[in-house]
Protein backbone atom coordinates (compact mmCIF):
# COMPACT_ATOMS: atom_id res chain seq x y z
CA UNK A 1 0.00 0.00 0.00
CA UNK A 2 1.42 3.40 -0.99
CA UNK A 3 1.34 6.38 1.31
CA UNK A 4 0.24 9.76 0.00
CA UNK A 5 2.54 12.73 0.44
CA UNK A 6 0.90 14.84 3.17
CA UNK A 7 2.58 18.07 2.04
CA UNK A 8 1.35 17.79 -1.52
CA UNK A 9 -1.07 20.57 -2.50
CA UNK A 10 -4.16 20.05 -4.59
CA UNK A 11 -4.02 21.02 -8.26
CA UNK A 12 -5.04 24.64 -8.65
CA UNK A 13 -4.71 25.37 -4.95
CA UNK A 14 -3.58 28.94 -4.31
CA UNK A 15 -0.85 29.83 -1.83
CA UNK A 16 -1.77 31.98 1.14
CA UNK A 17 -0.75 35.62 0.90
CA UNK A 18 1.35 35.49 4.05
CA UNK A 19 3.10 32.24 3.09
CA UNK A 20 6.20 34.05 1.75
CA UNK A 21 5.90 37.13 3.96
CA UNK A 22 9.12 38.16 5.68
CA UNK A 23 8.81 40.01 9.00
CA UNK A 24 11.59 41.86 10.74
CA UNK A 25 12.34 40.28 14.12
CA UNK A 26 12.46 43.67 15.80
CA UNK A 27 8.84 44.33 14.82
CA UNK A 28 7.71 41.00 16.24
CA UNK A 29 9.57 41.60 19.51
CA UNK A 30 8.01 45.06 19.91
CA UNK A 31 4.48 43.70 19.46
CA UNK A 32 5.17 40.70 21.71
CA UNK A 33 6.54 42.96 24.44
CA UNK A 34 3.43 45.17 24.34
CA UNK A 35 1.15 42.12 24.42
CA UNK A 36 2.95 40.44 27.32
CA UNK A 37 3.15 43.62 29.37
CA UNK A 38 -0.57 44.30 28.82
CA UNK A 39 -1.52 40.81 29.98
CA UNK A 40 0.90 40.15 32.83
CA UNK A 41 0.43 40.32 36.58
CA UNK A 42 4.06 40.95 37.48
CA UNK A 43 6.09 42.99 34.97
CA UNK A 44 9.41 41.91 36.55
CA UNK A 45 8.70 38.26 35.81
CA UNK A 46 7.37 39.02 32.32
CA UNK A 47 10.49 40.99 31.41
CA UNK A 48 12.65 37.92 32.12
CA UNK A 49 11.28 36.47 28.87
CA UNK A 50 12.82 39.30 26.87
CA UNK A 51 16.29 39.41 28.41
Give the integer Cα–Cα distance in Å for 25 and 2.
Answer: 41
pLDDT of residue 6: 64
pLDDT of residue 5: 59
Torsion of CA 26, 27, 32, 38, to 10 degrees: 120
Q: Which domain holds residue 34?
A: 24-51
Specify if 30 maps to a domain: yes
Specify if 46 maps to a domain: yes
pLDDT of residue 1: 53
Which residue did the predictor score with more confidence, 49 or 5?
49
pLDDT of residue 3: 61
- Domains contained in the chain, number: 1
Express each pLDDT in 6-47 by its tens digit. 666 667 777 777 667 676 788 888 888 888 888 888 888 888
DSSP annotation of 11: T
Specify if 41 maps to a domain: yes
Tally the residues of the chain: 51
pLDDT of residue 8: 67
Amino acid sequence: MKRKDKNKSSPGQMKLLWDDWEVADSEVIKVALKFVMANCYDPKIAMQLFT
